[in-house]
Amino acid sequence: MHKVSAVECKTYDEKEVRKAVEKAIEDIGFKIKMGSKVLLKPNVLMGAKPEKAITTNPAIIDAVCTILEKHKCEILIGESSGVVKEGGVLEAFEECGIAEAAKKHNAKLVSFGHEKIIKVENEKAVFAKTMYLPKIFFDVDLIINLPKMKTHALMLFTGAVKNLFGCIPGGRKQEYHAEANTKEKFANLLLDIWQNVKPQLSIMDGIEGMDGNGPSNGNVVSPNLILASDNAIALDIVAEKIVGFEGEVLTNRFAVKRGLINKEEIKHGELPSFKFRKPSTAASAMPSWLSGYFLKKGKAYPVIDKKKCRNCKTCVNVCPVQAMKMEGYPECDKKKCITCYCCQEMCPYDAIQLKRSFLFSAAMGFYYRIMDLMKKK
């Protein structure tokens, strides 16, 4: 049985957050062993101010570290973000406020890309039976996963399982995006990573989250929640209910299909309900016999907003298949593009829009109009 707790927390006030995190952990019955060596894995997609709701808020880090200090734990905080500029993930820690929280608690900041890498074999994996991961994951007593509640242009929702993609060191993330070039492949890759890393505790920052075109260019929303579970998949299954995406998140569906979790064994109390806006790239709910054709023809591709673009070349640098080229301004080569949306995800100026063709949009509008008329009958 996997318990999931959802605790109300309306602000990032230090005392309120700590109290809510303590209750969330207590409600699932999780026990932290004295003197443990603990690795925290927050969501540090990029260097961004906490109020932008892109990264795990430092107040969550502070609360978890305070709890761990009471148990005399050695604390490490690690990430391998999508940051490609000089300074990388350690600079991102500074910008999002996590470095300050780490310093307060004498926690060590870790860039996974600079850690020793080991080969991990997993015969039960679907996409990557061989994986290379930082050895540090296997040298600690406890891994605490600290995701942010956000939508995601490619995967619809980025929660506890998706947050583990940041465990992959360095440029290997771009390589995986190129290899796992469909949502289905990428969902299975994420579950393979979860099987190898298996964080024992996941705590989701849902005090403020993001809907619309997440994970970095959406709308800041306030669910006012902290969620916790001893199982990352169970947490995500409950989270998708809360945000109004029940049954739509591929990692959750595939986890059930692969026998990684039994939904009947997930226990939780009464849940609040929200209606998160979906990314503009979200798949439609049309029947599969029709959606296969339309989704192939209707892929959304990156389009540069030249009024916002500052030619920083971030999109060019992060593209795993070199589909983004500089032609005065960045341009997307649709023949190469695998629609992973790394460019849009990492753009620091919100200068990349994801657009489908006019004919596809018109066809979709006509389809839904017909569906509405049929419902009225």
Backbone angles phi, psi at 210, to 5 degrees: -145, 135
User: Which pLDDT value is given to residue 217?
Assistant: 92
pLDDT at 376: 56
The pLDDT score that the predictor gives to residue 288 is: 43
Structure tokens at 92: 């991102």
Name the CA dihedral angle for 183, 186, 190, 193, rounded to a multiple of 10 degrees: 170
Cβ atoms of 228 and 27 within 8 Å: the answer is yes
**Mean pLDDT score, 359-367:** 53
CATH fold, domain 288-376, is Alpha-Beta Plaits (3.30.70)
Mean pLDDT of the chain: 89
With cut-offs at 50, 70 and 90, classify the pLDDT of residue 87. low
What share of residues in the chain are helix, strand, coil (percent, to 5)? 40, 20, 40
pLDDT given for residue 321 in this prediction: 87
Q: Determine the average pLDDT of the residues in 303-326.
A: 91
pLDDT in tens, 249-303: 999 999 999 999 999 999 999 999 999 999 987 644 444 444 444 444 556 788 9
Question: Residue 206: pLDDT band by 50, 70, 90 thresholds?
Answer: very high
Provide the pLDDT confidence category of residue 159 given band limits of 50, 70 and 90: very high
Residues 6+ apart with CB under 8 A from 120: 130, 131, 132, 133, 196
H/E stretch holding 207 reads strand 201-211
Given a cut of 60, whether residue 361 has pLDDT beyond it is no
321: CB partners within 8 A, 6+ apart: 178, 336, 337, 338
> In the chain, what are the domain boundaries?
2-268, 288-376
Range with lowest mean pLDDT among 27-41, 224-238, 305-319: 305-319
What residues does 167 pair with on adjacent strands?
A: none
Axis-axis angle for helices 172-179, 183-197 (nearest 10): 130
Q: How far from the centroid of its chain's Cα atoms is residue 261's Cα?
A: 19
- Predicted confidence at residue 353, as pLDDT, reads 84
| pLDDT score, position 174 | 83
pLDDT at 140 over 90: yes
Check if 2-268 and 288-376 are the same fold.
no
**pLDDT value of position 284:** 41
The pLDDT value recorded for residue 289 is: 44
| Between 357 and 259, the higher pLDDT residue | 259
What pLDDT is stored for residue 300 in this prediction? 77
pLDDT tier for residue 365 given thresholds of 50, 70 and 90: low
pLDDT band at residue 163 using 50, 70 and 90 as cut-offs: very high
Choice between 341 and 335, residue whose per-residue pLDDT is larger: 335
Q: DSSP code of 338?
A: -
Q: Domain 2-268, what fold?
A: Rossmann fold (3.40.50)
Q: Which of 53-62, 132-141, 175-184, 262-271 has the lowest mean pLDDT?
A: 175-184
Q: What's the CA dihedral at 146, 50, 99, 31 to 10 degrees?
A: -30
Q: What is the pLDDT at residue 319?
A: 87
